[in-house]
Chains A and B, each alone.
Chain A
Amino acid sequence: MIEALQYLTIAWFDPKLLGLVALGTFAGIYVGAIPGLSVTMAVSILISFTFAWEVYPALCLMVGIYMGGVYGGSRTAILLNIPGAPSAIATALDGYPLAQKGQAGEAIGLSTVMSFVGGFIGIGVLAFAAPFVSEFALTFQPRDYMLLAILGILLVGSLSGESLLKGIFAGSLGLLIGAVGLDPLTAQERFTFGVVELWGGISFIAVMIGLFGVSEALTQLHHVDKAAIKQTVGRIVPSWGAIRKVLPLSVQTSSIGVIIGALPGTGGDIAALMAYDHAKRVTKAPEVPFGEGAQEGLVAPETANNAAVGGAFIPMLTLGIPGDAVTAIIIGALFIHGLNPGPMLMIEQPQMFWFITGALMLANVFMLIFGLTGIRLLTRIVEMPRTVLIPLILLLSIVGAYAVNNAITDVYWMLLFGAFGYLLKTYGYQLGPVILGVILSRLIDENWRRAIISDQESLGLLLRGIVTSPLSLVLLLAVLFVFFSQTPVWTGWRARRAALRASGDGI
């Protein structure tokens, strides 16, 4: 216990690590606050510069960017009605009406404090639950890992996009990209086309920066002529009375955030929407109606999306399964640093777990400090013209892709994936499932092969193993449910039922 506490506080007393968490949090808030630039972009570009570093400093920067980015997205949601990140969509519903009433400062202040509260609840649950989850995960069979990973990709693919088919295609494409190179078990070439450079696979960094850095920057070029909108804020620090009023609700919505964040494949965006829905149901008599500037409607998504950060680290660190695109990128970065997220991490390197938890706590504190003190400075930076910002992002993307292996080939791969990602995005394919697929490809492949070998190459035996194990059965049913609940047959049936009910009410 004392050892855990020591590891937890390493970053707190080391000025360099402390500074890096602060820098990461600030960069995350800044990028998250720029409309159109996502936290995924910030993480993908910035962490590529940290691969040559020692693992502790690199982790500090990553954790800071993630925490700051999730919070930063709320800023533009409140001020401009443009969510900076998907997790801030629900924030705009009541945040923007508050800003329209001239209460932008109060809204930002309250959302900052409540994000801090939510963040701490999430991290607290991570610290207490992860050791148990990790112990439980030791009982997982290879088939369970395989099913869990498929569930994760399917959830990301089906919940975030406009079409299940496009989500499935995107996830499969990611799995395929992850399979390029020499087979880790037999060293047989897969999709290498005789090119020796492809034996090691396609650089994960190149794919990641291409998909989230270049393609997003190219998309932003469509709006390059739009002038940066001046952002005005008044009073910032919320009153104790305002905080006390929403505190009980924030505990409930934080719990929703942690649980949803901890499910593989679901992240802050879904958590925030569910928390908003919960707030609407439990708040019987709001002072201001929901959708017109209710404080409860602002607090619920903000606490939930920050609580989901701690939640998302649970499957990431204990199972090695990312919750969303950002955690997928962080897992990839951990692999590059020689860490192997999964149940063994807690046993072999518990110091890493506690260190990450400590850095998250620190990032949460910095988020509060920067959120409350740096609002005016941040609004100035956010007003930086896109005509300067986009070339800089593109420049950093190239530098980031090159810096990892000092290889120009990686830059070409990045550009290829940038252009491809831009087209995918333009035509309605989600990029999150692609990166999740790249990260989970090896895990699914290896566990599938382990599972089928242990069942003597018999699909029948594998299926029998699944239906006779409660955990495997639950996972299989979850996969089937997610799949069929998005098919036209099911959605059509539900629409017909709703229409029938509506016509029944009308009579």
Chain B
Amino acid sequence: MPEPTKKKPGETAFALFLVGLSGFLLWQAWGIAGFEALSSPGAFPMAVTFTMLLSSGPILFRTLRVADRAPLRFFTDIAPPVILIMFAMMLGYAFLLKPLGFLPTSLAFLTLSILGLRRRGLAWSFGVSLVSLALVYLVFRIVFTVLMPQGIVPEGEILAWLGGLFSSGGAP
């Protein structure tokens, strides 16, 4: 595949970041065992980080030389608000998952993100989210028995109560 002749917004900064990262990691790798021996624990990390530096350097050089892809802008084409907001919501989800629990956090995440992306009203988004979450819960929690944080919803007790209901209902 031919290489693009123009760069995207932020590409130079990213290439620069990769060079910096490679250099820093090479320095860290050198700190593991220095040039002690070819079989030392630091030899492989040094070879790898050196390769990273050796490849990221020319990439940066090439990126600096090519022209910008004119009409594109970083905050509209590379990281538009929709991506930044969704990412922030995922961070929020991860942050609240343990204290609030899987069910309320997931419901809030799905409702808000579907509402934001679809714009068809809160009731519609909530309904779709509820059905989707019920399916996810059924498949992953009940069938696949994946353990998720319980949080504020006494999920275990509800499941035990439901189980009891069915078993007592089935008994003669």
Contact = CB atoms under 8 A, between A and B. Distances in A.
Interface stretch (B76-84, B151-159, B160-168): B76-84
A148 interface: no
B75 interface: no
A385 B117 CA distance: 10
Given A162-B4, A176-B49, A190-B45, 14 more contacts: A172-B49, A175-B48, A179-B45, A186-B41, A188-B32, A190-B29, A222-B80, A387-B118, A391-B110, A395-B106, A398-B94, A418-B90, A426-B8, A448-B39
A312 B15 CA distance: 34
A403 B142 CA distance: 14
Nearest to B141: A399
A427 B43 CA distance: 30
A12 interface: no
Contacts of B18: 169
B134 interface: no
Nearest to A160: B1
Contacts of A218: 83, 86-87
Given A168-B51, A444-B44, A427 B39 contact: no
Contacts of B78: 426
Contacts of A222: 80, 83
B23 interface: no
Contacts of A445: 44
B118 A385 contact: yes
A390 B109 CA distance: 12
A445 B41 CA distance: 9
A396 interface: yes
A279 B41 CA distance: 50
Interface centre among B2, B37, B51, B98 (most CB of A within 10 A): B51
Interface string B1-22: 1111000101100110010000
Interface in B67-95: 78, 80, 82-83, 86-87, 90-91, 93-94
A452 B11 CA distance: 39
Interface of B: 1-4, 8, 10-11, 14-15, 18, 25, 28-29, 32-33, 37-39, 41-45, 48-49, 51-52, 55-56, 58-59, 78, 80, 82-83, 86-87, 90-91, 93-94, 97-98, 102, 106, 109-110, 113-114, 117-118, 128, 132, 136, 140, 144-149
Given A222-B80, A387-B117, A166 B94 contact: no
A191 interface: yes
A386 B86 CA distance: 14
Contact of A172 (B42, B55, B144): B55
Contacts of B41: 183, 185-186, 188, 190
The binding surface of chain B is classed by DSSP as: helix
Contact of B42 (A190, A214, A399): A190
A147 to B, nearest CB: 14
Interface in A172-197: 172-173, 175-176, 179, 183, 185-186, 188-191
Nearest to A386: B117
Contacts of B80: 221-222
A52 B98 contact: no
Contacts of B10: 423, 427
Interface residues of A, number: 62
Given A169-B55, A391-B117, A415-B91, A163 B45 contact: no
A257 to B, nearest CB: 22
Interface string A215-235: 000100110100000000000
Contacts, number: 163
Given A169-B56, A394-B113, A415 B148 contact: no
A408 B43 CA distance: 32
Interface in A381-435: 385-388, 390-392, 394-396, 398-399, 402-403, 406, 408, 411-412, 415, 418-419, 422-423, 426-428
26 contacts: A49-B140, A53-B144, A162-B3, A169-B55, A169-B56, A176-B45, A186-B41, A189-B32, A190-B41, A222-B83, A388-B128, A390-B86, A391-B110, A391-B113, A391-B114, A392-B110, A394-B90, A394-B109, A406-B147, A408-B98, A427-B10, A427-B14, A445-B44, A449-B43, A452-B38, A457-B39
Interface string A72-94: 00000000000000000000000
A452 B39 contact: yes
Contacts of A50: 144
A5 interface: no
A392 B86 CA distance: 12
Contacts of A161: 1
A453 interface: yes
Contact of B144 (A49, A165, A426, A428): A49
A459 interface: yes
Contacts of A403: 140, 146-148
B41 to A, nearest CB: 4
A417 to B, nearest CB: 12
Contacts of A392: 110, 132, 136
Interface string A347-391: 000000000000000000000000000000000000001111011
Nearest to B54: A168
A224 B110 contact: no
Interface in A128-172: 161-163, 165-166, 168-169, 172
Given A390-B117, A427-B8, A396 B59 contact: no
Contact of A52 (B14, B25, B87, B146): B146
Q: Which of B41, B45, B86, B128 has the most CB of A within 10 A?
A: B41
Nearest to A161: B1
B58 A165 contact: yes
A186 B45 CA distance: 14
A163 B52 CA distance: 14
B42 to A, nearest CB: 7
Contact of A162 (B2, B8, B33, B38): B2
